[in-house]
């Protein structure tokens, strides 16, 4: 499985999107607020702000 696809399944955000957003592709919750980056993006929140 390609790494970008694995990241999408694990964190809910593809590596390509992580690069555009500036989020950390190695962490599911880049800002440490308890919500996964993918969940924040899908709900209209900034994954880099608590």
Domain ranges, ordered by start, for the chain: 3-42
Confidence at residue 11, expressed as pLDDT on a 0 to 100 scale: 64
Confidence at residue 9, expressed as pLDDT on a 0 to 100 scale: 57
The encoded tokens of residue 16 equal: 């390509």
- Rounded to two decimals, the pTM is 0.75
> Do residues 47 and 31 make contact, with C-beta atoms less than 8 angstroms apart?
yes
Comparing 7 with 14, which gets the higher pLDDT?
14
């Amino acid at each position: 499985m390609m790494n970008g696809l694995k990241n999408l399944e694990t964190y809910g955000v593809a590596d390509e999107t992580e690069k555009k957003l500036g989020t950390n592709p190695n962490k599911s919750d880049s800002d440490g607020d308890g919500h996964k980056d993918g969940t924040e993006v899908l709900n209209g929140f900034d994954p880099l702000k608590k």
